Structure 1
Amino acid sequence: MADRQSSSLTHSVPVKQVDRDSSLSRGLPDKEHGKETPGEDDFPEGGARAWSVAAGTAGVLFCSFGYLNSFGVFQEYYQSHQLSDHTASQIAWIGSLQGFFIFLSSLVGGPLFDRYGAKVIRPAVVAQVFAVMMNSLCKKYYQFMLAQGLLSGISTGLVMCPAVSATPQYFNKKRGAAMGLSITGSSLGGIVFPIALGKMLANPILGFGWSVRIIGFIMLAILAPSCIAIKARLPPRKSKFLLPSAFKEAQYVTLVAGAFLMAIGMFTPFVFLPTYGVAQGMDPTLASYLLAIANAASFPGRVVPGILMDVLGRYNMFFAAGVSTGILILCWMRITSNAAIIVFAVLIGFCSGTIVSGMTVCFASVPKSPRNIGTYMGMGMALVSFAVLIGAPVSGQLITRYHGFDRAFIFTGVMCLAGSFVVLVAKWASGVGLLSRG
């Protein structure tokens, strides 16, 4: 009798805890808190709230990656105006530093979202708009580095990673399509910002200062409703801020390595397309439209492959994107006419757009619990940030040293191809066959 009482006592506490944990996973009523707790695996797969979160994410990416993808316009303008006494490689460091901190600050932004929800986006939005306004006042190299590189990069990353982490909490079977639609925001931003900047910077009445300030006001009008629309579906987790145990998972480590190599190469066209066009005799005004053309092509490059990810497999599409981007960059050195350069801009925009959506979808698919998506994505993007940092400056240095673009294109093309084959290793590590859908 005593043994039976002892047995019941030893099991009473664990049973209560198991019941509470299982209620979190199944979406059963949580008696301790007196409310329905959303289940981790109960993905809505649609609905007004889910799609409003996806739309809010698109607005954030419009102002983050869309703005970053317009740096080629700044590169060309700085080379002929404020920073004409600096080399292409030195100027490229501004954009690389901005991209670096966008990804690196995800190391903080992702875990903050997992622990505190979407409210962490709001102060970062204020800082992001403030950074753009400060950029409009810059005249010297170090000022551009601080405002556009450092402050804009950090604040943008603290907005972007929580936004990108929110959408996967609402979708699983349709995650590729939902993320593809969200990431099209960056494509639209990459169309609007280069065209707007090119037109305004060519207007002597506006000048550099007001051109950049108008961009800041556009961002404010889009980011304000976007940060209100983005909400976390699941309650915050209370475990460690970072999850270093993720790096014991072969799938995650190889996925990060593949994304790292691809990121070294994929941003180079968006930095040097206008410069390359001008070097081949293209009119500077037409060259400033190349980024808009590339970003317009990346719109279907993010939607269509995003939908296909749910049908053909996420890793399969990520691999195909890297291979096609690498091959195109290797062909770039033989493209010299205006028409051919425009066609290249369309193709590289489509293929590289799939890399961005593929990377985020694959990162979101690794953690076993959706409450850890922000942290997994943040840690992965933080490591990828070092690739973003070195990619364009290394290419710029190769262009300056060898007085041509060929060696830079070979370097970046090979990096994309190498990253693609590492992604295949990540697919194998995930437990699915290399030839299967996955």
Structure 2
Amino acid sequence: MSSANSSTSSFKLSNFSKDSDISGHESVHKEETSDLAPVDGGAQAWTFVLCSFLLESFVWGLPFSYGVFQQWYLSNPPFDGTSEANINAIGTVGLGILYMEGIFLAFVFQRFPQWLRPMMVGGLVVCVFSLLISSFATKVWHLVVLQGVVYGTASGCLYMPAIFWLPEWFDARRSFASAFIFSGGGLGGTTFPLAANYLLERVGFRWTIRINALIVAIFGGVAIIGVKPRLPIPPVSSRKTTPAADLSFLKSPVFISVGITIFLQGLAYFPVAIYIPTYTVALGHSSLSGALVLAVFNMATVVGQIICGFYCSDYGPYTHVMLFSAILSCVMAYALWGFAHSLALVFVFVVMFGMISGGFSAIWTPAAAEVHASQPWPPFAFFGAWKGLAAIFGPNIAAVLHRDRINGSSAAHSGAGQGGWGGYGFTAIIIFVGSMMAAAAAGSVISSFLRVHKTRTESTAGKGKSRRHARLSLFEYSDEV
């Protein structure tokens, strides 16, 4: 859930704690037995990591490269006469579903762990055929259904089991294994835009999609061989009833505030991720330059996630990262993007904005663990749903604000010029991105205040409880005397 990114704001559920067991099995992954593969090492464990890395690469790499496809669709038949909002939906719907379906899959897989392996195989088959069929599309809605809805849903079914099984394979070294796996999103987000641009320029979108389908089939087939559970799935008759998820956190002011802030930040983040190749081309540079800019942006987000995640783990509260990321992202949008009229400044902008805004997703894990320590994965999944909604709405709002497509004018006549601010049809989008980041900064302040208030309230209640317990102990002692 890259991203994300992705993400990478993917559903990185395995980072919560070493005691969490999100697969629904008993916590036997901490026990070494002679008939089970070892934990935290061994050929099978590292094969699992490598194969999960491959899944992460292409599952998130394709959606994160959509900005290159969008630029091609907007400029080439048969889709160049279609509204920009409809073309946006091809990539944003799939990415949004991939973020949001974690809520549903988490509950299903915990209740029916025997479904995970068949779901992976079925997801791979559907992914490949949805891409192959979409290569024959003649209408945008064909691509929205096949590459957006169908591929987005199937890729989640293919990818999510790896996240649920990770706690079985790694305990003490889980953080290292997780970091390696999720770096695959950065590799995919860097290589897929460049590969897609190369293929689109030489063989067109139909054969580009077919080649992508072949890549997914080959690497996906290899990956699912090594992505498997360590623990045997118990028979249904002997399986304990899975406890119902506690959703009391939905009423938590901190959870609500953080969730809304994630949504606001996503509204600003995704228009940049989708439109930065188009902006680069609007400046007069080649589509290859646009693909390079997007690749650098995706790599920068991974670096930001690592840095901010390290800070949240060892140095300070996650609300510091929220506020720091939102404020500086706002400044980068207004100051850097607004005046980025050369390719060099565009690269500076995507590096700075990518690192700073991409690091925002590092707050999901500590925030979820703080909101609901006993079951942190449900709030984490809901955070993903917030970002999924932003992935759908943000770029579509940007499509409405993109002046070149509205006016049908060329970039040369819609720019502010080398000495001005904004322009090239993107002035309103830049203002929107900066404003949403400013709103996210305000949400971060509110979240910080609510978090401090919650901590103080719990501390006061704890002290009161301790005093009551002390008085009770005294009375009990007196009675005994």
1:338 and 2:343 correspond: yes
Matches within 5 A, 1:187-198: 187-198=186-197
Question: Across the two proteins, how many residue pairs are aligned to each other?
Answer: 396
Measured after TM superposition, the shift of residue 151 of structure 1 is: 0.8
Indicate which of 417, 422, 430 corresponds to 2:443. Answer: 422
Counterparts of 1:58 and 1:360 in 2: how far apart (Å)?
A: 20
Indicate which of 209, 215, 227 corresponds to 1:229. Answer: 227
2:59, 2:159 within 8 Å by CA — same for their partners in 1?
Answer: yes
1:77 and 2:72 correspond: yes
Measured after TM superposition, the shift of residue 80 of structure 1 is: 1.4
CA 1:222–1:325 in 2, change beyond 3 Å: closer, same or farther? Answer: farther
Indicate which of 302, 307, 319 corresponds to 1:299. Answer: 302
Counterparts of 1:421 and 1:45 in 2: how far apart (Å)?
A: 44
Indicate which of 209, 216, 225 corresponds to 1:219. Answer: 216
- In the other structure, the counterpart of 1:309 is 312
Q: Secondary structure at the match of 2:92?
A: helix
Counterparts of 1:392 and 1:149 in 2: how far apart (Å)?
A: 14
CA 1:221–1:298 in 2, change beyond 3 Å: closer, same or farther? Answer: farther
Counterparts of 1:313 and 1:321 in 2: how far apart (Å)?
A: 14
Deviations 1:71-130 (A, max 9, x none): 111101101122111233331122221222212322212222333344343322332232
1:321 and 2:325 correspond: yes
TM-score w.r.t. length of structure 2: 0.71
1:325, 1:348 within 8 Å by CA — same for their partners in 2?
Answer: yes
Deviates most, 263-272 or 208-217: 208-217
2:67, 2:276 within 8 Å by CA — same for their partners in 1?
Answer: yes
**Residue type matched to 2:355 in 1?**
F
- In the other structure, the counterpart of 1:12 is none
1:305, 1:354 within 8 Å by CA — same for their partners in 2?
Answer: yes
Counterparts of 1:287 and 1:192 in 2: how far apart (Å)?
A: 13
Measured after TM superposition, the shift of residue 225 of structure 1 is: 4.2
Deviates most, 416-425 or 70-79: 416-425
**Residue type matched to 2:427 in 1?**
D
- In the other structure, the counterpart of 2:354 is 349
- In the other structure, the counterpart of 2:411 is none
Indicate which of 89, 94, 98 corresponds to 1:98. Answer: 94
1:249 and 2:240 correspond: no
- In the other structure, the counterpart of 1:30 is none
Deviates most, 209-218 or 331-340: 209-218
1:154 and 2:139 correspond: no
1:323, 1:416 within 8 Å by CA — same for their partners in 2?
Answer: yes
Q: Secondary structure at the match of 2:79?
A: coil
1:314, 1:362 within 8 Å by CA — same for their partners in 2?
Answer: no
Task: Give the CA RMSD over aligned residues.
Answer: 3.5
1:269 and 2:288 correspond: no
Counterparts of 1:71 and 1:45 in 2: how far apart (Å)?
A: 38
1:175, 1:361 within 8 Å by CA — same for their partners in 2?
Answer: no
Measured after TM superposition, the shift of residue 337 of structure 1 is: 0.6
Q: Structure 2: which 5+ runs fail to align? A: 1-18, 32-37, 234-238, 408-413, 415-424, 457-481
Q: Structure 1: which 5+ runs fail to align? A: 1-24, 28-32, 434-438
1:411 and 2:408 correspond: no
Deviates most, 276-285 or 419-428: 419-428
1:60 and 2:55 correspond: yes
Measured after TM superposition, the shift of residue 136 of structure 1 is: 1.9
**Residue type matched to 2:208 in 1?**
S
Deviations 1:307-357 (A, max 9, x none): 333222461334433333333223312211111112222222322332334
1:87 and 2:83 correspond: yes
Indicate which of 102, 108, 115 corresponds to 2:111. Answer: 115
1:37 and 2:23 correspond: no
CA 1:245–1:191 in 2, change beyond 3 Å: closer, same or farther? Answer: same
CA 1:360–1:338 in 2, change beyond 3 Å: closer, same or farther? Answer: same
Counterparts of 1:171 and 1:418 in 2: how far apart (Å)?
A: 39
Measured after TM superposition, the shift of residue 185 of structure 1 is: 1.4
CA 1:130–1:411 in 2, change beyond 3 Å: closer, same or farther? Answer: same
Counterparts of 2:168 and 2:323 in 1: how far apart (Å)?
A: 24
2:262, 2:386 within 8 Å by CA — same for their partners in 1?
Answer: no
CA 1:68–1:172 in 2, change beyond 3 Å: closer, same or farther? Answer: same
Measured after TM superposition, the shift of residue 214 of structure 1 is: 1.5
- In the other structure, the counterpart of 1:385 is 388
CA 1:374–1:415 in 2, change beyond 3 Å: closer, same or farther? Answer: same
Measured after TM superposition, the shift of residue 373 of structure 1 is: 4.6
Deviations 1:347-397 (A, max 9, x none): 22322332334435644664433xx45443333322332221110010110
